[in-house]
Amino acid sequence: MGAELLVHARCGGQSLVLRCPANIQVATGQRIGATFGAADVHWFDAQTTHRL
């Protein structure tokens, strides 16, 4: 993607996709910390996959 890296993660049994700067290094299975603002979160309905 160039300037961004999509990191697929799990938190509390939920799947997440984190959009991160491309210069971070994450290994498969590595535990990471993440912070974000409420305005940066996009919620989707699990059944319809439509954005809420």
| pLDDT single digits (tens) 1-52 | 578 999 999 999 988 899 999 999 999 999 999 888 989 888 889 899 999 9
Residue 40 DSSP SS3: helix
The tokens 């290094």 sit on which residue?
25
Helices (H) and strands (E) in the chain, counts: 0, 2
What is the model's pLDDT at position 10?
93
Gyration radius from the chain CA atoms: 12
